[in-house]
Chain A
Amino acid sequence: MIDYQEADANDLLTKALEHAPDVSAPSDFARRVMARVSHEQPHPALHRARALTPRYGRAAAYGALVITAIAVIVLTFHVRPSASWYASQMVLMAQLGCIAVWIGLASWRSQ
């Protein structure tokens, strides 16, 4: 049974909480912040603030994926089948899988 008074109170409360204050930054705010910031030491990592995801990591992952896949294919045709080759192949396949999972998780986290 729905308690309509409870639902009404919840509704009112949610609306009040979602109603953001009608306030915005003054037009010269950014200029004043930059005036203060200009006295600070410049730092080399500012470009990272604009990145939503660590792209260098993802680029390295894609590169490793391609290299590992090529290595598996090339070696399959050029190495004589043996127990040690099969073991190496399994390791390479496992590495491929780990890289793929990492890329998937990184994409999911960046959303």
Chain B
Amino acid sequence: MNRQVSFEQVVREHQDMVFRMLVRLTGTREHVDDLAQQVFLRLYRALPSFRGDALLTTYLHRIVVNVAQDEWKRRKKESDRNTSLSDDIAGWEQRLHHPSPSAEQELETRELQHTVERAMQTLSAIERSVLVLYHQEERSYQQIAETLKLPIGTVRTHLHRGRAKLRSELERWRQGGRR
């Protein structure tokens, strides 16, 4: 078997998922290409110790979360989070597909998305990871627990807390506290 071809197939199969998760976890498109390359490099280096006792996607999710957390720590030090967020999120929001033809509703949807994205960056790294894995990647509690190496109960707690924090932020926005 051609090992290089096999790994290239793995990259092609999962690259879009990696990009989506990194954008949501870091809240920006900045450096996403570099981060995604880091993810696959780490995967390649870790393969000798991969015993097949977990799904490859679980393993990959774990690496994505770790890379995103490292990036989050790096950006926190630079303290330039808010500026990059507003620049990058506006870009992909333009491509939001919404069934309603109303321009006002579309604007509100865009603002809602922006509010949620911004609020996501105020959550802890674990809460953010759990929310992305659960809602965006549609992983089960068990799978998230395996990915993050946490008990299932802890996963539920983080999900609940993360949603509660986002909900209060959303309420503030709905009551006219838009920033």
Contact = CB atoms under 8 A, between A and B. Distances in A.
Contacts of B96: 19, 22
Chain B's interface size range is 35 or more
Main secondary structure on chain B at its contact with chain A? Answer: helix
Interface stretch (A9-17, A59-67, A84-92): A9-17
Contacts, number: 122
Interface residues of A, number: 38
Contacts of B131: 17
A21 B20 contact: yes
Nearest to B43: A49
Interface string B51-64: 11101100000000
A56 B20 CA distance: 34
A51 B113 CA distance: 38
A30 B23 contact: no
A50 interface: yes
B6 interface: yes
Interface in A12-49: 12-14, 16-26, 29-30, 32-34, 36-38, 40, 42-49
5 contacts: A22-B92, A25-B18, A29-B37, A40-B44, A46-B7
